[in-house]
Structure formats: C-alpha cells, structure tokens
Amino acid sequence: MAEIIVHDGDLPADVSFGTQVAVDTETMGLNLTRDRLCLVQLSAGDGVCHLVRIQPDRPAPVLCTLMADTTVLKLFHFGRFDIAIMLRRLGVLAQPVYCTKLASKLCRTNSDAHGLSALCKLMLGVDMSKQQQTSDWGAETLSQEQLEYAASDVLYLHALKAQFDALLAREGRTALAEACFAFLPHRAALDVAGWSETDIFAHS
C-alpha cells in the first residue's frame, strides 16, 4: 500500500522528487472558468504520494516553483487539463512535461483504450478503481477512499512512461512525441485564454 502524506495549502520546502515527478489534480468539475482546483497529487514513483489541498485565494509558492522548475520533468495523464487548471488557479505554467495519454495515442494505434485505468491494467497488470472520480473533492474532510484514489492517479505514471518510451522508440515516434509534449503547455494556455473549443490550425 502506498504511503500518503497530506499537506494543507502547499508543499513543505524540504520535499524533493528528483528529476521526474508525477502530477495529477482533482477539481470540483471540468470547467476551467467555473470549477475550483481542490487537490494536487505528486509522486516520485517510489510508492509515496504527496497530496496538497489547495486553499481558495491562498498561494502555493513551493508547489509553483516545482511546476516551473525546468530541471524537473512533470509526468501527467491527460496533462492538458491539469496544466490548464493550475495555470488558471495558481498562475504557473508547468513545464517541461510528459503526457502518458498523448504517448499512448501516438504509439498504441492498434487500440482506442487510452484511459489511465485501462493502461494500468493492460500494461502493468494493476486494477484501478475509478469509484471516487466524481466525489466531492471540496469537502472539508476527505475520506480514506478519496485519498487512495487520488494517490493511485500518480503512483504508476513513472512505470507507464518507461514502457511508452520503449514503444515510441520502436515505432520511430520519439521525436514526434517530444514535440507534442513541448507544445502541450501552450495548448493548455490556449484553453485558459479562451480557445478551448477552437482548433486554430483548422482551415476554417
């Protein structure tokens, strides 16, 4: 079982995640302009998960410094939303980044199963429960089931990245993936700026 450490408002200054940190968020919904960022989960892939409860109208300078640290790669699954909600709420653009969902879509073209739970089952043999996905993340007290669910979203991203790196190299798509990852923070910034439903690369 993972070790789960909960922090109120921000990360402690003495927490280190090395050169790669898995990141996820929990919110009150999926509307960037309406819904509140409630929780940020982080793990170094070592079985330990740090959960930061984000307080309304309170900055999180240590967390923001980590997100902006160009020497630390941030691992996401569907990073577009997580990056955008942190930019809107905390004012920080996370980079550099790696997204396991993008990686899956680029190298697993034989399948349309790119959700995190499906990937963990297929590639790591890990069963993940999504029962708490739509629970109340703004509650004053989070249940143990909520904490365990939140932790599970970051505990396996390092292992998935290792497998995707090998698949991307095998299919000759590493450079293409790296270009997509480099653009992802800018795609998230476009979402926040109002172009979430518009493909600016389309002809019309």
Residues 6+ apart with CB under 8 A from 179: none
The reply to whether 202 falls in a domain is no
Separation CA 98–CA 111 (nearest Å): 20
pLDDT tens readout for residues 172-201: 999 999 999 999 999 999 999 999 999 999
- On the question of pLDDT at 129 being above 80, the answer is no
The reply to whether 199 falls in a domain is no
128, 150 contact by CB (below 8 A)? no
pLDDT tens readout for residues 67-121: 999 999 999 999 999 999 999 999 999 999 999 999 999 999 999 999 999 999 9
Separation CA 185–CA 143 (nearest Å): 32
Separation CA 5–CA 130 (nearest Å): 21
The reply to whether 201 falls in a domain is no
Instruction: Tally the domains of the chain.
Output: 1
Looking at residue 128, its pLDDT comes to 86
The reply to whether 30 falls in a domain is yes
pLDDT band at 57 (very low <50, low <70, confident <90, very high): confident
The reply to whether 29 falls in a domain is yes
Domain that holds residue 13: 3-193
The reply to whether 198 falls in a domain is no
| Listed residue (73, 74, 52, 71) closest to 147, CA to CA | 52
**Distance of alpha carbon 133 from its chain centroid, rounded?**
14
Average pLDDT, the chain: 95
The reply to whether 203 falls in a domain is no
Structure tokens at 103: 């990686």
Residues 6+ apart with CB under 8 A from 55: 8, 9
Where residue 105 sits, what CATH number does that domain have? 3.30.420.10
The reply to whether 108 falls in a domain is yes
